[in-house]
Structure formats: structure tokens, C-alpha cells
């Protein structure tokens, strides 16, 4: 039983994502780690090389901006890395995600427990979504609670939509031409948290990040429209609460380097109409109504 990790990244420094910490956070439990590195101009590739790990394999790629609609380029890049994974189990981690060192043994234990149980295709992980600063998390119905990050290899898995999740396909050809929707993976829950740092930005850096990210989902005309109407104030979010836990050790230097202050201001919060009346109900019952689940949970 072997485990390998995979990810993709392009201009990680410009995006302000902790891609180096992300990779390093899972290296101890991976026999290999595949990184699809897009055509970067900010030293991303060189920085990954400087990690100097024999486990890391870099695949150089060119991002096809014709695939920007719906974030398809992200799925394409994830699949490029996935196709070079030759281990029994595949651990996906995105460049803004980090695992805590205290949870690594849980991942290995889960594989050991279910390796011979072929009914289990993979595992979903709980998420913590940081926003504004390292001391606040976003905890509303607009963020996903769980996602697939670990699954068996050699069962026809492809990245689904914009690489947020994964599905099984009868053939990769039908996946590519869109004639097959794919089968949801049958998964178990694992108590190993994904620390999601995509919302950590100074106000200026956040504006830059939004512009770059939206460029992978929209045409130039669509991007102009979004940019014209977007409020870059970090307070323009539905809700955040203080984070009271501990960050992964690999993130301590970044946490200490934060040079701006963030605090949630309720009067500046922005809610979708449906969310504004559903959120208090969900808070009371501790249950998300109509939650999208790109997986079949095995109890």
C-alpha cells in the first residue's frame, strides 16, 4: 500500500498562496509528490526546486486560457498531475491548502483500515476556511464543509468541474467530450482537517488575487464587468468568527508575518437574500439545508 500526493500551481507567489507550505505539509507521508507547474513568471518553479526533495517531481505545463470558462483549466492541470501518480492511493492538496502535522497519522491509519475494503473509493476531509487574517474563519453556508482529497488510484478518477472534487468515469474519452457525467465516489469521513488559506490577504493583495483568479473563469469582457462591480474590502463577506485553534507548524512563520489587522464588521457584511434567512436556522439546527455533495457518504 503506497500513497502519493499531487497538486498544480502557477504563479504561486503572485497569488499569495502558501504553495510551498502546502507541499511540505504532506511530504512526510507520501512516497512521491507530483506538481504540475504552469508557465510562471514569479519564481514559483525555482522555489519548488529549492525544496530539494527527492520525492517531488515537477511537470512543466502551459495553461490553456481557452479553458478558462468554469475553471476548466484547473481540472485539466489536476489531471495532468494525477496521471503521473503511480501509487495505490492519491492525496490531492491544492496550493492554498495545508494539513496539520497532528493529522498525518490519521490519514495513514485510514488507508490501512480500508485498503482491502473495495467498497470505499476514498475519503472526505473537513475544512477550515480562513478569511481576512490568520485569526478569523468564515463559517457560513457559502463555504464547503467537506471535500474529497484522498482516493484510490486506477479506478478511473478524473477531476470534476474546476478540480474542487473528483468522480469515476467509464472512459477518459467520454469525460473529455462531456458525454458522461461520472459516478460519485463512495467515501468515508476522516477526522483530518484541511486548513484552507485562500482568504488570507492584505486588502491590496486581495484585490490582485480576485483579478487573477476571475481571469480563469471569465472572458476579458466578463472580467471587466466583475472588476467594475467588485468591492475589494475584506469586510465585504457574510460572516467570520475568531479562530481559536492552532495552525500547522509549517505555517507559523507566515502567521507571524501578518502586517495588517482584520476584524469582522457586521454592518459591512454582504449576504445573499436566501442565505440571510437560512443561516440562523442552520446555526440553530447545526445542519446545512440543500448542501451540495459531490460524493456518496458511507456511514
Distance between CA atoms of residues 167 and 115, nearest Å: 19
Fold of the 1-281 domain: Spore Coat Polysaccharide Biosynthesis Protein SpsA; Chain A (3.90.550)
CA 63 to chain centre: 18
C-alpha cell at 149: 482529497
Asked if residue 129 lies in contact with residue 199, where contact means CB atoms within 8 angstroms, the answer is yes
Ordered by start, the domain boundaries in the chain are: 1-281
Residue 230 confidence (pLDDT): 47
Phi, psi of 67 (to 5 degrees): -100, 20
Predicted local distance difference test score (pLDDT) of residue 150: 98
Distance CA 189, CA 150 (A): 10
Q: What is the pLDDT along the chain (299 residues), one digit of tens a residue?
A: 799 999 999 999 988 899 999 999 999 999 999 999 999 999 999 999 999 999 999 999 999 877 766 678 899 999 999 999 999 999 999 999 999 999 999 999 999 999 999 999 999 999 999 998 999 999 999 999 999 999 999 999 999 987 779 999 999 999 988 899 999 999 999 999 999 998 887 666 666 666 665 555 555 555 555 545 444 445 578 999 999 999 999 999 999 999 888 888 888 888 988 999 999 999 999 888 888 899 999 98
pLDDT score at 120: 98
What is the pLDDT, as a whole number, of residue 263?
86
Reported as type and span, the H/E element at residue 15 is helix 12-15
pLDDT of residue 65: 78
Q: What is the pLDDT of residue 98?
A: 98
pLDDT for 232 equals 42
Chain position carrying cell 492584505: 202
Say if pTM beats, i.e. exceeds, 0.85: yes
At residue 123, the 3 state secondary structure works out as strand
Per DSSP, the residues of 286-298 read: T--TT---SSEE-
Tell me what pLDDT residue 289 has. 87
pLDDT at residue 224, rounded to an integer: 56
CA separation for the pair 37, 12 (Å, rounded)? 9
CA torsion through residues 136, 265, 260, 217, sign: positive
pLDDT at 243: 96
pLDDT reported for residue 248? 98
Task: Determine the 3-state secondary structure of 175 from DSSP.
Answer: helix
Pairwise CA distance, residues 136 & 179, whole Å: 42
- Residue 229's pLDDT is 47
Amino acid at each position: 500500500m503506497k500513497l502519493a500526493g499531487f497538486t498544480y500551481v502557477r504563479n504561486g507567489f503572485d497569488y499569495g498562496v502558501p504553495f510551498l507550505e502546502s507541499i511540505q505539509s504532506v511530504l512526510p507521508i507520501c512516497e512521491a509528490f507530483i506538481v504540475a507547474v504552469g508557465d510562471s513568471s514569479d519564481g514559483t518553479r525555482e522555489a519548488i526546486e529549492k525544496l530539494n526533495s527527492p520525492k517531488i517531481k515537477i511537470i512543466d505545463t502551459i495553461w490553456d486560457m481557452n479553458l478558462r470558462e468554469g475553471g476548466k483549466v484547473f481540472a485539466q492541470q489536476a489531471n495532468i498531475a494525477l496521471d503521473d501518480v503511480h501509487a495505490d492511493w492519491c492525496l490531492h492538496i491544492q496550493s492554498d491548502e495545508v494539513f496539520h502535522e497532528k493529522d498525518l497519522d490519521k490519514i495513514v491509519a485510514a488507508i490501512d483500515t480500508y485498503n482491502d475494503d473495495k467498497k470505499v473509493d476514498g475519503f472526505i476531509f473537513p475544512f477550515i476556511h480562513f478569511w481576512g487574517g490568520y485569526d478569523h474563519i468564515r463559517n457560513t453556508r457559502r463555504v464547503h464543509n467537506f471535500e474529497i482529497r484522498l482516493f484510490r488510484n486506477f479506478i478511473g478518477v478524473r477531476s470534476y468541474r474546476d478540480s474542487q472534487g473528483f468522480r469515476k468515469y467509464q472512459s477518459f474519452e467520454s469525460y473529455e467530450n462531456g458525454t458522461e457525467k461520472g459516478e460519485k465516489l463512495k467515501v468515508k469521513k476522516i477526522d483530518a482537517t484541511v486548513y484552507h488559506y485562500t482568504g488570507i490577504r492584505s486588502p491590496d493583495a486581495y484585490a490582485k488575487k480576485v483579478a487573477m483568479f476571475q481571469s480563469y473563469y471569465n472572458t476579458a469582457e466578463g472580467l471587466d464587468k466583475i472588476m467594475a462591480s467588485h468591492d475589494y474590502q475584506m469586510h465585504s463577506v457574510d460572516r467570520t468568527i475568531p479562530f481559536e485553534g492552532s495552525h500547522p507548524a509549517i505555517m507559523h512563520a507566515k502567521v507571524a508575518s501578518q502586517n495588517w489587522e482584520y476584524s469582522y464588521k457586521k454592518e459591512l457584511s454582504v449576504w445573499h437574500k436566501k442565505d440571510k434567512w437560512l443561516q440562523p436556522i442552520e446555526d440553530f439546527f447545526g445542519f446545512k439545508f440543500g448542501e451540495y455533495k459531490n460524493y456518496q457518504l458511507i456511514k
